[in-house]
Structure 1
Amino acid sequence: MTLPDHARYTWGGDEFLVVEIAPDMSLEANFVSNSIAVGLEQRDLPGIVDICPANASLLIRFDPDELPHTELERAVRELETQVRQVSGGVLETRIIEVPVWYDDPYTRETAERFREGYHQDPSGTDLDYAAAVNGLADAQEFIRRHHERPWIVSMVGFVAGLPFLFQLAPQAEQLEVPKYLSPRTDTPPLTVGYGGCFTAHYSVRGAGGYQMLGIAPAPIYDPDRRLADFGDFSVLFRTGDIVKYRPIDEAEYREIQAQVDAGTYRYRQARVTFSLAEALADLEGHNRSLLEALDVA
């Protein structure tokens, strides 16, 4: 995908700057958004309150009494130019393995309560529908396609600790699934859902409209920071993280839950370098290198 030559800058009142990199999500747009966010954080300008990178844009909140809006815009435009001039940028990040019990009874039961008037196909399951709209043989093929390639966390937010993830797959093989016709008023915590081209990993119980694929046994938001993976922050995922979903059965789901209750569970993870140039040139090869790092962790 070719990005626009320049981002679109707009102001939200006196305290917010919105930078729209592109109108659509792509690896290139997301990389530019995250790179600007990292660069702005490293500059440590006085008056920056928060930096929120999103799929193809970022939102910056600032204190205009400490940082004039003209100075902020000049700094961000300089960073945008630098980021775009770098050919084949890299991101030092991590790959995390996330176990998922696909086609579990909890999301199935919830889906059954929200069929008529909520869902496009009340006669089947969310997984059946996801497979059908993608022209796949059955739900098991959709599950395989969902977990066989890694994902990149394109943004975190909307609900505390909730990540949106974009699969590292060729555009022709991207899975796309419409959201519910009308949002549910209930979604089990740690549901793994799908809407548009994104996976959403629900951090807490609540409303939602993504098709439900399965459920994870370990928290991704731990406000009490009981588990070692949350030692420095209550949210597991950060933008730019790479995620590999791993299918598990009920027995392993219960086993991991017991480890969580005991405070001993650790996510399997490794440090990796994500290269935009390598991903665009040979996505499957770059995916293999990412997964190999996890295999030796």
Structure 2
Amino acid sequence: MQNRYSFGGDEHLFVECDESMSLEAFFKSLSMTNAVRDSQIKGVTEICPANASFQIKFNPDIIRPDDMLREVQAIESAASKTDPVIATRIIEIPVFYQDPWTHETLMRFRERHQDPKATDLEYAARINNYATVDDFIAAHAGSPWFVSMVGFVAGLPFMYQMVDRPRQIQVPKYLRPRTDTPKLTIGYGGCFSCIYSVRGAGGYQMFGITPMPIFDPEQKTSYLRDFMVFFRPGDIVKFKPIGREEYDHTVEQVAAGRFTPAISDVTFDLREFQKDIDGYNARLEGMINGR
């Protein structure tokens, strides 16, 4: 579909790239937000990319809303002619699946869940036709994920699975939101995985927890000293299942300032990915820290 434009008062322009989420819609949104940023339109104060849309905040005393609309529409025309290739990074995120902390939390909120007699992982495995929880975890951790947007709460990444649509995991949110979710929980709602950057309310299914901080407003974490938010749209994430021993060790390493996330810079080409999804993913994963 062509982009759909609407104004939010006199200082916001909202651009909808598609009515549903897809990698194509995400790439269109990302390429346009990058182009808007590179164009340095006078009066733009903030650019907020989302899963299949984005919003621009601008100062109407510097640029009129209609002029902003014309500028962005011109960028849409130019962006449609560019190749779907981005320079990004692939990041390995350790995950302790079936951890005791999310398990204790989910058991406190069974009355708000679709299946009060099952854990979140058991429910997710069943409705996605996996024979066991271990099979489901293997599917969740078995392919990379695109960070399509960061927000809702500070530093929280929404991640879209890099597989063909028939294999995408689908899990509804809780019937009623919880009033508690442990910090750094790996959550799932609809077609998106996420990491809860802070403790708080939430409605996504809980699958595990990572020992790796992703948001630090005090910027004391060794790899967050330059910027308090770890993720950015376009990042590629690969989950790595770990056990309790490695989880505890990583927590200790983080506290001591000795933990460094496994990250590699990569170039992602959407067309090459679509030709051979599994092969392309395998090559990406092999690039993590030069593996």
Asked if these proteins are the same fold (TM beyond 0.5), I'd say yes
Please tell me the TM-score bracket, short chain as reference: over 0.9
1:79 Cα deviation (Å)? 1.6
Which among 12, 19, 23 is matched to residue 23 of structure 1? 19
The answer as to whether partners of 2:149 and 2:158 remain within 8 angstroms in 1 is yes
Equivalent residues, number: 291
- Secondary structure (helix, strand or coil) at the match of 2:213 reads coil
Question: TM (normalized to structure 1)?
Answer: 0.96
Paired AA for residue 289 in structure 1: R
More moved, 222-231 vs 233-242: 222-231
Q: Tell me the C-alpha RMSD between the 2 structures.
A: 1.0
Matched, 1:68 2:60: no
CA distance in 2, matches of 1:72, 1:275: 30
Partner of 2:105: 110
CA distance in 2, matches of 1:169, 1:295: 23
1:295 Cα deviation (Å)? 5.3
1:188-218, Cα deviation, whole Å (9 max, x unpaired)? 0000011100001100000000000000001
Partner of 2:200: 206
- Secondary structure (helix, strand or coil) at the match of 1:288 reads helix
- The equivalences for 1:1-297 within 5 A come to 4=1, 6-86=2-82, 88-116=83-111, 118-294=112-288, 296=290
Paired AA for residue 238 in structure 1: R
- Secondary structure (helix, strand or coil) at the match of 1:85 reads coil
Paired AA for residue 146 in structure 2: I
Structure 2: gaps spanning 5 or more residues: none
1:77 Cα deviation (Å)? 1.0
CA distance in 2, matches of 1:197, 1:165: 9
1:10-68, Cα deviation, whole Å (9 max, x unpaired)? 00111110000000000000001011111111111221111000000001111100111
Identity %: 50
Structure 1: gaps spanning 5 or more residues: none
CA distance in 2, matches of 1:205, 1:291: 30
The answer as to whether partners of 2:88 and 2:235 remain within 8 angstroms in 1 is yes
CA distance in 2, matches of 1:36, 1:295: 30
The answer as to whether partners of 2:263 and 2:289 remain within 8 angstroms in 1 is no
1:229 Cα deviation (Å)? 1.9
